[in-house]
Amino acid sequence: MTRLRLATTGDSAALAALQARNRAYMAPWEPARPEEYFTIVGQRADLEAALDRHERGDAVPFVILDDDGIMAGRLTLRGIVRGPFQSCSMGCWVAQERAGKGLATDAVATALTHAFKELGLHRVQAETLLDNIPSQRALQRNGFVRYGLAPKYLKIAGRWQDHVMFQRLADEA
């Protein structure tokens, strides 16, 4: 069973190793990253920033653990907005050697439960590149509905790229 747990700075070394091993695999789906990002120091800085956002209530940075408790990726609820919006965006990645085994689908399901039941959010949105079919399937298996296309939404792999927009509402749970 896939598990999520809150990331800690103690995850820096494991994440650096996972990121380094999956650098080429993830490159088409990620922003261009500086060399330092793939080091323990870079991952520690990334985690510290994510945990600062968590302390402010703006994000929940999780690590994804496989059935054996081995780190397999990350999932983050980010851009949490309160007030009448009660919404956030979700981003997720799973290591190449763990892809296609349902880890992302399970992680998204767990994160939705956290977003709706623990955080009391109304809406979770997620965005994928047009050709990222595995991510789209993981979202659709969790009840996400495609609601639009955002032209040149994010700068991924060094260029502005279109993204498919998905959402899941709490009352659809």
Convert the pLDDT of each residue in 69-108 to its tens digit.
899 999 999 999 999 999 999 999 999 988 888 899 999 9
Query: Is 158 within the bounds of a domain?
Result: no
Over residues 10-38, the mean pLDDT reads: 94
Cα gap 29→6, rounded to integer Å: 23
Over residues 150-160, the mean pLDDT reads: 95
Strand partners, 123: 87, 169
**Residue 173 corresponds to which amino acid?**
A
* Half-sphere exposure of residue 98: CA atoms within 13 angstroms, side-chain side: 26
Convert the pLDDT of each residue in 35-77 to its tens digit.
999 999 999 999 999 999 999 999 999 999 988 889 999 999 9
pLDDT at residue 172 above 80?
A: no
Query: Is 151 within the bounds of a domain?
Result: no
Residue-number span of the structural domain to which 10 is assigned:
3-125
Rounded to the nearest integer, the mean pLDDT of the chain is: 94
Most distant CA pair in the chain, distance: 43
Q: Give this prediction's pTM.
A: 0.93
Query: Is 14 within the bounds of a domain?
Result: yes
pLDDT confidence of residue 1 = 56
Label residue 2 by pLDDT band (50, 70, 90): low
Query: Is 138 within the bounds of a domain?
Result: no
pLDDT confidence of residue 173 = 57
Query: Is 148 within the bounds of a domain?
Result: no
Query: Is 171 within the bounds of a domain?
Result: no
SS (H, E, C) 7-55: CCHHHHHHHHHHHHHCHHHHHHHCCCCCHHHHCHHHHHHHHHHHHHHHH
CATH of residue 67's domain is 3.40.630.30
